[in-house]
Every structure is written in structure tokens, then in C-alpha cells.
Amino acid sequence: MKAQTYTLSRRKFLSTLTTAAITSPLLLDSTASVAAQNRKLNHACIGVGGMGWHDLQQFKQHSNVEIVAICDVDATHLKKAAEVLPNARTYTDWRELLQKEGKRIDSVNVTVPDHNHFAIAYRAIGEGKHVYCQKPMCHDVAEVRALTQAAVKAGVITQLGTQIASGKGDRTAVQWIKGGAIGKVKHAYLCSNRPAAIENYRLVGPRPAGGQTPPAHLNWDLWIGTAPMRPYSPEIYHPVKWRAWQDFGTGWSGDIGCHIFDAVWKGLGLKAPKTVVAQVQQAWQDSPERRGDTWPQGDHITWVFPGNELTEATELTLEWFDGAFYPPQQIQELFSGKEYPAESAMLIGTEGALLIPHGGMPVLLPENKFKDYKLAELSERNHYHHFVEACLGGEKTESHFAQSGPMTEAILLGTVALRVPGKVLEWDSDKMKFPNDAQANQYLNRSYRKGWQVGRF
């Protein structure tokens, strides 16, 4: 399918993104009301390999979901999905799917590499479809702002793929934070030091000097999508290692950060940060080739957020550690006698501390002090099925874009800080720029490859 073309300067593109949802008409149809009346959701899966296969299985298990269309640029992934969904129509190009399916679908999930999230999700929202999008919501800060605004204006159901947010553990942690279990919060330490993640997901780079002919089953042009074209090379891009490259992924903090941030963000009711600064792996910082192409294999990012009634002071400092950077030893020792969770958040309060292990139940510290603290009576919840029920008229989703968009923005400001390490960046959320650093502003958005349409601009 031939893509539409456009010409847009970088400055105009950034401006357009921030106002697109207000100035561009979104073509809404009656899909939401029809789905609610029929109690059946006609769904399309865009991306069915890797995490896409997992997402497909989750939607398939809901009795009121009919997966009527599937799409993937890799024919091997598409074939596997078609075998379990023999009645679903198959596509290689997501643009063709949205064009041909029209009113036959109510919703889509977007489970593809980060650099193509915005184009697909924005187009789907523009056509009145409900959207489940894997994290991070988008590749760039400006894209997140535009997609959030578009979703709110359109009134469609949305959900970010932060599955743990629907679990009993994270929801309990949110209740405890809001309820003041540890008093006023003074500081937050978040980390993701998953074993083997450096070797498997954070390639040293730089990219190979040349490339190879893509395998016959992979449509490389569609895989590249909005990103700059580069030669195909095996074992470093498709299917999972694209996260290591700036053109395609958002680094470890951009990806896993959406999980670890979620309960802290919601519990404290955080807003846009005031400043952000990053410390990075020295070998990466000292290599111009790597800095221009890959993400560092480890980093330490510090945000300063405005305080509120739940914080001790008028500002709250939140620190992120990954790769070879770890939370301070004295913080880890608060969880005495046990191994500190490799992926977790620790909140320090005036009356104690709260440890939130990724995917586990939260722990109030010191444990002796809180041994009689009542556990919230919450049940487990399926993140995907909660989205389906919301599309069919149920309660609001846990990670709708109005909630998760501003959080994703803040996280991606950290990825901008990685590219100008050591600089304290002051953030003006209303104007969506760093007033004190023109260099950092250029990383808030990117130029799309010629020939690729961007939403409905």
C-alpha cells in the first residue's frame, strides 16, 4: 500500500503535535455504542510476534472478544497467529488493515517496536477505534503529548500495556501511599537491574558498516516504518534487540520505567517534573559513535517533581537506576536480611518506607513496626480484559492515556537527559521545551522517513 507524503519542518512538526488533537477533526463513528449494545468487541491485533503473541492470547481468552483481523510485517509471526485464528483476515501493512477493516473493527492493540507506536495509535484513534498500546506509549515526548490529547478529545477507551498496574500488588501500593501509611514521602528510589538484561537488550554497538538482504519472510521497509532507513542485519534489530537503538527503542528506562513508575506516579499524584538530569555509563559517554546510535548500558536519572499534600517538602526527588547503577546501599539495607528486588520502587516517608517489588506485593518497612497494618482487600485483575470490559461499557481502565500519558512524558524526558548527560534540564511543560538547553530540545521529536504519513496531519 502506498503511503501518503508530506513536508513538515521540525519546528512546525513539534508545534503541530502539541495542538493536533485540538485543531484536527477526528472522524468518530458509532463503534463504541455498537460494541456496548452487542456485548461483543471486534478486535484487530497489530503485531503478533513476541509480546504481540502474548497480547493476542490475552484478548483471545476473553469470551466477548472476536479477533477479526491480524497484522505483522513478519510472515512467520503472521502464519503462527493465523493457525490459532483461522477466521481472522491477515495483513502485512497496518495502514491497509485500518483502511479495509473500517467499521468492522471496534478496537486494536498496537504491539510493535516503539518507533511506530504513534503513527498506528493516532491513526486508529482518528478513526474512532479503542486502543490498547504497549509501553512506552510512544517513542518521543511530542508524540506522547499529541496522542494523549487525541485520545481525550476522541473519547475512546485506551490502555497502556503496563499489565502489573492492574495487579493486586501495585494497586495495594497506590492505596497505601494515598492513605499515608508511611507518612509524608521524602524521596523515591526506582531501579531495574534485571539479570542478563545488559547482554540481551543493551547492545554495545555501533551498527555494522554494511548489511544483508532481509529474509523473504520479513518486510523490512514496513518494519522500519517511520524511522530512518538502514540496511538489514541479523541478530541486532528484529525481533527483540531493536530496543538498544535510538532510532527504534527508548532505552531500558523508557521501556521498563513505565512499569516501575506506575504505582509511585499514581499514588503520589505526580505532575510534570521541574528538572531532570542523567548520569550514564562512562564508556558510552566517551564514545561519539555509540552516543549517536545506541542507548547506554546503564544510567542513573534524577527528576525533581513539584511536591503536594502527600510529600514532606515542596519538591520531591525521584531517582532511577539501571544496568550497572544501583540504589544506595543504605536504601537496599532497609529491606534487611533479604535480597533487594532487582526491579522495584522504594519510597522513604516520615513514618517508614514502602518497597514495591515489580510484580509482587508491597512491603511496609520496618516490618516489625507495620506487622499489624491491614492489607487492602483487592483482587487480581486482568489488564487486557479490563480494557475489553471498558470498551463494552464497563469502568474506566487502569492505565488510560489521560493517566499514563503524562507519566510516559516524564519518563521520556529522562531519555532526553541521557543524550545530554550531566546537564540539569529545566522543563517547561506548558511550552513543551527546555528553556535552558536548545540541544536537548531537538530530542523531543524526530523527523519521519519521507513517504510516511503521520496520523492525520
Instruction: Provide the CATH number for the domain around residue 85.
Output: 3.40.50.720
Q: Tell me: the pLDDT tens digits for 404-425? A: 999 999 999 999 999 999 999 9
The conformation of residue 294, written as its DSSP 8-state character, comes to B
Residues 331 and 349 in one domain: yes
Among 195-209, 318-332, 355-369, name the one with the lowest average pLDDT. Answer: 195-209
Residues 270 and 205 in one domain: yes
Place of cell 520531591: 316
Phi, psi of 21 (to 5 degrees): -70, -20
| pLDDT confidence of residue 37 | 57
| pLDDT confidence of residue 382 | 97
Domain boundary among 379, 414, 431: 379
Residues 212 and 304 in one domain: yes
Residues 189 and 280 in one domain: yes
Domain boundary among 348, 379, 410: 379
Q: Is residue 392 pLDDT above 50, yes or no? A: yes
Residues 374 and 240 in one domain: yes
Instruction: Provide the CATH number for the domain around residue 206.
Output: 3.30.360
Q: Is residue 33 pLDDT above 70, yes or no? A: no
| pLDDT confidence of residue 430 | 97
Residues 197 and 344 in one domain: yes
Average pLDDT over residues 79-85: 98
Residue 102: pLDDT band (50, 70, 90) is confident
Cell of 269: 499524584
| pLDDT confidence of residue 215 | 97
Q: Which domain holds residue 191?
A: 166-379
Q: What angle do CA 172, 177, 183 make, to 5 degrees?
A: 140
Residues 139 and 223 in one domain: no
Q: Tell me: the pLDDT tens digits for 426-446? A: 999 999 999 999 999 999 999
Residue 195: pLDDT band (50, 70, 90) is confident
| pLDDT confidence of residue 374 | 85
Residues 202 and 144 in one domain: no
Residues 160 and 178 in one domain: no
More confident residue, 381 or 2: 381
pTM: 0.92
Residues 188 and 322 in one domain: yes
DSSP-derived 3-state class of residue 24:
coil
Does any domain span residue 189?
yes
Count of domains forming the chain: 2
| pLDDT confidence of residue 112 | 98
| pLDDT confidence of residue 29 | 38
Residues 196 and 154 in one domain: no
Does any domain span residue 332?
yes
Does any domain span residue 108?
yes
- The Cβ of residue 402 has, within 10 Å, a number of other Cβ atoms equal to 12
Average pLDDT over residues 146-165: 97
Does any domain span residue 2?
no
Percentage of residues in the chain with pLDDT exceeding 70? 91
| pLDDT confidence of residue 55 | 98
Residues 236 and 122 in one domain: no
Q: Across-strand partners of 355? A: 346, 363
Does any domain span residue 75?
yes
Q: Is residue 5 pLDDT above 60, yes or no? A: no
Does any domain span residue 341?
yes
| pLDDT confidence of residue 379 | 85
| Distances, alpha carbon 442 to alpha carbons 189, 214, 249, 434, in Å | 28, 32, 17, 10
Q: Is residue 20 pLDDT above 60, yes or no? A: no
Strands (E), 312-352: 315-322, 343-349
| pLDDT confidence of residue 36 | 53
Domain boundary among 314, 344, 379: 379
Phi, psi of 29 (to 5 degrees): -120, -165
Q: Is residue 21 pLDDT above 60, yes or no? A: no
Mean pLDDT of the chain: 91
Does any domain span residue 233?
yes
Q: Is residue 300 pLDDT above 60, yes or no? A: yes
Q: Is residue 267 pLDDT above 90, yes or no? A: yes
Does any domain span residue 227?
yes
On the 0-12 / 13-18 / 19+ scale of CB atoms within 10 A, 100 is middle
Average pLDDT over residues 211-230: 96
| Distances, alpha carbon 88 to alpha carbons 56, 67, 94, in Å | 12, 6, 14
Q: Tell me: the pLDDT tens digits for 346-385? A: 999 999 999 999 999 999 999 999 999 988 789 889 999 9
Q: Which of 87, 91, 51 is nearest to 67 (CA)?
A: 87
Average pLDDT over residues 242-267: 96
On the 0-12 / 13-18 / 19+ scale of CB atoms within 10 A, 83 is exposed
Peptide bond into 239 cis (omega under 30): yes
| Cα torsion angle, 330, 336, 338, 344, sign | negative
